[in-house]
Amino acid sequence: MAITTESVIDALKYVDDPDLKKDLVTLGMIKDVAVNGKNVSFTVVLTTPACPMKDMIHNACVNAIKHYVDQEAIVNVNMTANVTTTRTKDNTTLSKIKNIIAVASGKGGVGKSTIASNLAIALTKQGAKVGLVDADIYGPSQTIMFDVQNEMPGKSEYEGKPKMAPVESYGVKLNSVGFMAGPDQVIALRGPMASKALTQLFMDTNWGELDYLIVDLPPGTGDIQISLCSQIPLTGAVVVCTPQAVALADARKGIALFNLPAINVPVIGIVENMAWFTPEELPENRYYIFGKDGAKNLAGEMRLPLLGEIPLVQSIREAGDIGRPAVLQETTAQALAFKEMAQNVAQQVAILNATKANSELEKV
Ligand SMILES: Nc1ncnc2c1ncn2[C@@H]1O[C@H](COP(=O)(O)OP(=O)(O)OP(=O)(O)O)[C@@H](O)[C@H]1O
Ligand SMILES: [Mg+2]
């Protein structure tokens, strides 16, 4: 029997998106179905280019065609993505940003900036449009991590008003409070002024279209974090934590802050940083110097996804210091850990967006 586009579409109704738990046709993820003899081609539009299920969905589509349509079909699946959003359009420079993701922790020095830079680069490498705001007003570090200490944001315009053009490095659009002060200067602003300066950093940058804007927050749960959460439309927050008891206690406070009714920012999940120490010369060895599975257990207890376990490796620190984040190493265990973390973040954001869209539909 000749293959028809209808039979192809019917077969693809048997393939579910494992996260969204509906079939690809119902989800509107199948486009451009074409049939020519035994040749079948179509496009699958994923919810993120960093989808960890990409290969699985691809194979499931090929198998469905062979099983339900024709064993001898030659199937060509074009995998693309259109990152989802639940943000409402406004007239600010943030308007074309689909998802704004804060990287936070209650405690200082647990690796927020390291996680934020590697997350931004990992998402870019998988094909997403990504920006990063270094909002650590008291200790900006992204200009070093992105090796742009000697650069400055350029001039741009948004709807006739002068704005900054972000600095670009490793494909990521970056703006930082670090550009406002030289390396030996401090930004001496009190709470409300600091919050205002930060909001301006977001609003006075011409970001253009972005799939993800990552925000590197200063440590703690104080004024700055609270005002940022209420003024910037965050999609969610990634909480970074080490396995140590004191860090876990502070992570709980960080999570509690996002859960406050007045703030109400979804926590996307927890990243366990410095999960174990691995010496470069003994890559198989793991030493649990800060304790074992602390953040993993916290995630389980709070019913939050564990987004990644990043080892403590000397070259992660060195990579940050020389301005070439570790995820750029491609094949090392730490680069793979960052890539997996980024895929998990993107996956959870897609799930969050789908859940929110569904609950809004139900309200109608
Ligand atoms: N997994 C890791 N392996 C090795 N070094 C790491 C790792 N994560 C972070 N570091 C190093 O630890 C130090 C602190 O990390 P980072 O600056 O990312 O933390 P932070 O939470 O942003 O700190 P702050 O609260 O001061 O903003 C840095 O020198 C960084 O290079
Ligand atoms: Mg930092």
Last residue of a domain, one of 32, 51, 81: 81
Same domain, 167 and 289: yes
Question: If we measure between CA atoms, which residue out of 284, 293, 279 comes closest to residue 243?
Answer: 293
Q: Is residue 33 part of a domain?
A: yes
Q: Is residue 263 part of a domain?
A: yes
Name residues whose C-beta falls within 8 Å of residue 330's C-beta, 6 or more positions apart in sequence: none
Which residue has the least CA distance to atom 5 on ligand 1? 317
- The SS3 of residue 222 is coil
pLDDT of residue 185: 61
Cα separation of 31 and 363, whole Å? 29
Which residue has the least CA distance to atom 19 on ligand 1? 111
With 70 as the cut, is the pLDDT of residue 186 above it? no
Question: Which of 136-145, 176-185, 198-207 comes out lowest in average pLDDT?
Answer: 176-185
Same domain, 239 and 156: yes
With 80 as the cut, is the pLDDT of residue 183 above it? no
pLDDT of residue 192: 72
pLDDT of residue 159: 93
Same domain, 333 and 216: yes
Phi and psi (nearest 5°) for 232?
-105, 130
Same domain, 296 and 332: yes
CATH code, domain carrying 41: 3.30.300.130
In the chain, the amino acid numbered 284 is: E
pLDDT of residue 213: 98
Question: Which of 78-82, 125-129, 135-139, 336-340 comes out lowest in average pLDDT?
Answer: 135-139
Question: If we measure between CA atoms, which residue out of 246, 254, 203 comes closest to residue 226?
Answer: 254
Same domain, 105 and 239: yes
Number of domains present in the structure of the chain: 2
Question: Which of 76-85, 127-136, 189-198 comes out lowest in average pLDDT?
Answer: 189-198
What is the tens place of the pLDDT at every residue in 261-307? 989 999 999 999 999 999 988 988 999 999 999 999 999 999 999 99
Last residue of a domain, one of 53, 81, 109: 81
CATH code, domain carrying 246: 3.40.50.300
What is the tens place of the pLDDT at every residue in 218-274? 888 788 888 889 899 999 999 999 999 888 888 898 899 999 998 999 999 999 999
Question: Which of 110-119, 129-138, 158-167, 244-253 comes out lowest in average pLDDT?
Answer: 244-253
Residues with CB under 5 A from ligand 2 (ion): 112-113, 136
> Does ligand 1 lie within 6 Å of residue 320's CB atom?
yes
Q: Band of the pLDDT at 163, cuts 50, 70, 90?
A: very high
The average pLDDT across 162-171 equals 97
Question: If we measure between CA atoms, which residue out of 106, 161, 169 comes closest to residue 134?
Answer: 169
Same domain, 77 and 107: no
Report the half-sphere exposure of 349 (CA within 13 A, side-chain side): 34
Share in percent of the chain as helix, strand, coil (round to 5) = 35, 25, 40
> Does ligand 1 lie within 6 Å of residue 94's CB atom?
no
Report residue 20 as tokens: 């969204």
With 90 as the cut, is the pLDDT of residue 202 above it? yes
Same domain, 217 and 336: yes
Cα separation of 61 and 281, whole Å? 43
> Does ligand 1 lie within 6 Å of residue 136's CB atom?
yes
Percent of the chain, pLDDT > 90? 77
Q: Is residue 348 part of a domain?
A: yes
pLDDT of residue 217: 92
Same domain, 160 and 48: no
The chain-wide mean pLDDT, for the chain, equals 93
pLDDT of residue 250: 87
pLDDT of residue 187: 62
Last residue of a domain, one of 32, 52, 81: 81
CA angle, 154 then 157 then 158, to 5° = 130
Distance 259 CA to ligand 2 centre (A): 22
Structural domain that includes position 299:
97-363
What is the tens place of the pLDDT at every residue in 310-342? 999 999 999 999 999 999 998 899 999 999 999
Q: How far is CA 149 from CA 5, 72, 183, 197, in A?
A: 55, 58, 8, 20
What is the tens place of the pLDDT at every residue in 16-74? 999 999 999 999 999 999 999 999 999 999 999 999 999 999 999 999 999 999 999 99
Distance 347 CA to ligand 2 centre (A): 24
Same domain, 67 and 180: no
Positive or negative torsion for Cα 225, 169, 211, 48 = negative
Residue carrying the six token digits 């077969």? 11
pLDDT of residue 182: 62
Same domain, 291 and 188: yes
pLDDT of residue 106: 83
Residue carrying the six token digits 């207890």? 301
> Does ligand 1 lie within 6 Å of residue 114's CB atom?
yes
Mind spelling out the 3-state secondary structure of 95-141?
CCEEEEEEEECCCCCCCHHHHHHHHHHHHHHCCCCEEEEECCCCCCC
Q: Is residue 92 part of a domain?
A: no
Same domain, 295 and 163: yes
Atom of ligand 1 nearest to the CA of 273: 1
Positive or negative torsion for Cα 171, 324, 108, 152 = negative
Same domain, 353 and 319: yes
Q: How far is CA 210 from CA 25, 174, 234, in A?
A: 26, 12, 14
With 70 as the cut, is the pLDDT of residue 14 above it? yes
Report residue 163 as tokens: 């704005």
Q: Is residue 31 part of a domain?
A: yes
Task: Note whether 118 and 340 are within 8 A (CB).
Answer: no
Beta-ladder partners of 156 = 163
Which residue has the least CA distance to atom 25 on ligand 1? 108
Atom of ligand 1 nearest to the CA of 240: 21
H helices of the chain, in order, are 5-12, 54-68, 112-125, 142-145, 191-203, 223-231, 245-259, 294-301, 314-321, 333-363
Task: Note whether 322 and 313 are within 8 A (CB).
Answer: no
More confident residue, 107 or 41: 41
Q: Is residue 227 part of a domain?
A: yes
Distance 111 CA to ligand 2 centre (A): 7
Q: Is residue 91 part of a domain?
A: no
Q: Is residue 125 part of a domain?
A: yes
